[in-house]
Amino acid sequence: MIRRRLGQSDLELPVIVLGAWAIGGWQWGGSDDEAAVRAIQAGIDAGMNAVDTAPVYGFGHSEEVVGRAIAGRRKDVLLLTKVGLRWDDPRGEFYFKSQDQNGKPREIWRNAKPDSVVVEVEQSLARMRTNHIDLVQIHWPDPTTPIEETMGALAGLVKQGKVRAIGVSNFNPAQLKEAQLALAPLPLASNQPKYSLVARDIEARILPFSRELGIGTIVYSPLEQGLLSGKVPAARTFPETDGRHKRATFQAPVRARVNALLEQEVRPIAQRHKATLAQTVLAWTTGQPGVTCAIAGARTPEQARENAGAGSLVLSGEELATIRLAFERLDLSGTR
């Protein structure tokens, strides 16, 4: 597993991080806790010893499952979680309505108030049964709370030894700059934006800006929720409680086009490396300038092991370019 330093922090992350959103069940049509625990453990055994979760993933459930999975091996694992999306403290900016994995109505608020983030970190520590979190990230910007105030509270948690490093997620360049200035002399370790072969918006401004500022980038949804694994046939159906049921990139004609492209253009490169399509797509993602690591979600040990295998795969410049060009030709009309 290749490892990289995260921005100016002292965290060394595996290039493939295990994503624990789906493990919470919410927006993913439920989940199987036993399989999830085994998936996390299989990932750690394969060198993917960092897990990204959030309080809102399953309304605490994902963090609890992560806590179960790492019991007895905390020192071998890096825990990345978030603050700033509350369902139990309706202050800040209303974000959206949802139903939890048990069908209970929930309202999500962007709330990064200083007292709220302190409470959230305490709750995350308890759910994951640990005394420190390696990276705490502000999940989404809260326009009602000055970034400086949130950062002041998080810096206090670093001083207390409860948090090792601070990052953000879904921040634009101006917000990144503000966050970095507010935290100094502590480094802003990272931003966590969405990025994949079918969602390359951050290449224009956010990635170059983060590189210039020395901020690490941990990208999410690199497999476009499984689509880019080549294992989602056009015929597969998703329950209404799975966000992919309505997701534009999961429309059957798009899936068919993506699968054909993966077979024609990516399969020969994968075969050359004795790798799978998912591994090759993940290696493409972590091979892009400015990307520190990619968070791949997994719900089964097989997926976790496969994704971890991408962490030692390095594609040549020519292979990276071939895959990029192929996806630039992909017709994604109607999906945005």
Ligand X SMILES: NC(=O)c1ccc[n+]([C@@H]2O[C@H](COP(=O)([O-])OP(=O)(O)OC[C@H]3O[C@@H](n4cnc5c(N)ncnc54)[C@H](OP(=O)(O)O)[C@@H]3O)[C@@H](O)[C@H]2O)c1
Question: Cβ 319 to ligand X, closest distance in Å?
Answer: 19
Question: Cβ 220 to ligand X, closest distance in Å?
Answer: 3
CA angle 123, 58, 136 (to 5 degrees): 45
Closest to 182 (Cα-Cα) out of 221, 219, 211, 141:
141
Residue 128 in contact with ligand X, rule: CB under 6 A:
no
Q: Are strands 163-169 and 105-110 parallel, antiparallel or unpaired?
A: unpaired
Question: Cβ 251 to ligand X, closest distance in Å?
Answer: 16
CB 206 within 8 A of CB 291: no
Of 66-74, 256-264, 299-307, 321-329, which segment contacts ligand X by CB under 6 A? 299-307
Active-site residue (options: 57, 95, 195, 220): 57
Q: In whole angstroms, how far apart are CA 96 and each of 93, 105, 175, 309?
A: 10, 11, 22, 36
Site for ligand X (CB under 6 A): which residue of 7, 14, 19, 55? Answer: 19
Question: Cβ 190 to ligand X, closest distance in Å?
Answer: 11
Residue 101 in contact with ligand X, rule: CB under 6 A:
no
In the complex with ligand X, the residue whose CB is nearer, 180 or 307, is: 307
Site for ligand X (CB under 6 A): which residue of 296, 308, 313, 323? Answer: 296
Site for ligand X (CB under 6 A): which residue of 6, 13, 15, 22? Answer: 22
Question: Cβ 219 to ligand X, closest distance in Å?
Answer: 8
Peptide bond into 185 cis (omega under 30): yes
Residue 287 in contact with ligand X, rule: CB under 6 A:
no
Residue 309 in contact with ligand X, rule: CB under 6 A:
no
Site for ligand X (CB under 6 A): which residue of 7, 58, 84, 226? Answer: 226
In the complex with ligand X, the residue whose CB is nearer, 9 or 169, is: 169
CB 216 within 8 A of CB 190: yes
Q: In whole angstroms, how far apart are CA 76 and each of 41, 70, 139, 186, 306?
A: 11, 9, 25, 25, 20
Q: How many CB atoms lie within 10 A of CB 38?
A: 17
Residue 120 in contact with ligand X, rule: CB under 6 A:
no
CB 249 within 8 A of CB 227: yes
Q: How many CB atoms lie within 10 A of CB 248?
A: 10
Question: Cβ 146 to ligand X, closest distance in Å?
Answer: 21
Residue 67 in contact with ligand X, rule: CB under 6 A:
no
Of 128-136, 147-155, 178-186, 215-223, which segment contacts ligand X by CB under 6 A? 215-223
Residue 210 in contact with ligand X, rule: CB under 6 A:
no
In the complex with ligand X, the residue whose CB is nearer, 95 or 209, is: 95
In the complex with ligand X, the residue whose CB is nearer, 230 or 290, is: 230
Is 57 catalytic? The answer is yes
Residue located via tokens 């048990």? 102
Residue 27 in contact with ligand X, rule: CB under 6 A:
no
Of 104-112, 145-153, 301-309, 322-330, which segment contacts ligand X by CB under 6 A? 301-309
Residue 21 in contact with ligand X, rule: CB under 6 A:
yes
Concatenating the DSSP letter of every residue in 49-88 gives -EEE--TTTTTTHHHHHHHHHHTT-GGG-EEEEEESEESS
Quote the DSSP letter at residue 150: H
Residue 231 in contact with ligand X, rule: CB under 6 A:
yes
Exposure letters 191-210 (e unless 16+ CB within 10 A, then b): bbbebbbbbeebeeebbebb
Active site residues: 57
Binding site for ligand X (CB under 6 A): 19-22, 52, 139, 169-170, 192, 220-226, 229, 231, 278, 295-299, 303, 306-307
